[in-house]
Every structure is written in structure tokens, then in C-alpha cells.
Amino acid sequence: MEKLQSLQRRRFAITALLAGTLLLSAARAAVVDVTEIVGKSMAQVQQILGSPLQCKKSFQGLSCDYALAEIEVIFIDEKADWITFGGFQQVEFDYRVLEKIGLIAVPPLVHNPFRMHWQNHQGLAVISVYGSGRWVTFVQVRAFTPQ
């Protein structure tokens, strides 16, 4: 009987450890890896994000909204160039938000209570994070065309 209880306690401890590891991994996991989207055609982006909810012509190019992670992709010269990520639910306004879009978290070039900014990070022209001072509101990536 004592061996059975000991075995049950070990199983419980292992299960709790695995559950904790999975939760931690999920918390750090990228919402969408931006590097898998930039430079891709609309058809390739659709394979990753699903069908767009809507597309419209904009000054910069074709702008498409995707339900997954509330993403807007602007296709410039038929390639995904400007990507805006919304839908952050109580993600702290911290440079580590870059991990949520599949990038390496490094301190920004510019940091104030409402904006963080990087240039030429991981081959992307401009990355800007906007927030309320406490929480991230949205992240904008301009892969090739900075303005």
C-alpha cells in the first residue's frame, strides 16, 4: 500500500512538472512568427494565417486583415511588407514582446512610456511597439519599406 501511494505521489509530481513546463512554453510562444510572413506573396501568407477577412487597396498597396492574432498585412510590390499585430491581451509593455512575434528580444533603440522602436533588427527595417505605458496596444513591423 505504501509503495502504491509513493508511486501515485511521483506520478502527480511528474504530471504537475510537465503541466507547468507546457504552460511556461505557451506563455513564451510566439503568436505568429513575423519572419515566416515577411516577403511572402498573398497566397503564401494565406497558407500561414488563413483566408483574409477583407482586403482593400491602400496608398501603400493591398491591405488585408486576418483573424489570427488580429493581423493586418500590407502587400507592397505583391510581397508582405508592413505587418501590424493587434489583439494583445494584457501583454506587458516590455521589449520582450518581440518574442510574441517570433523575434529575439533586445533592448530598443528608442524607449518611452508609450513607444519602443528598433531599426534593422533581424533584417527588418523598422519595428515599433505602441502601448498604454503598462500594456502593449499593437506592434508594427515594416520589413523592407520603412515609410
Residue 63: strand, helix, or coil = strand
Give pLDDT, residue 29: 56
Question: Where do runs of H (alpha helix) occur along the chain?
Answer: 2-28, 42-49
Residue at grid coordinates 509593455: 93
Give pLDDT, residue 15: 35
Residue at grid coordinates 503564401: 44
Q: Are 111 and 105 in contact (CB under 8 A)?
A: no
pLDDT block averages, 10 residues each, the chain of length 147: 50 36 39 93 96 95 90 96 90 95 96 95 96 93 89
Measure CA 85 to chain center.
7
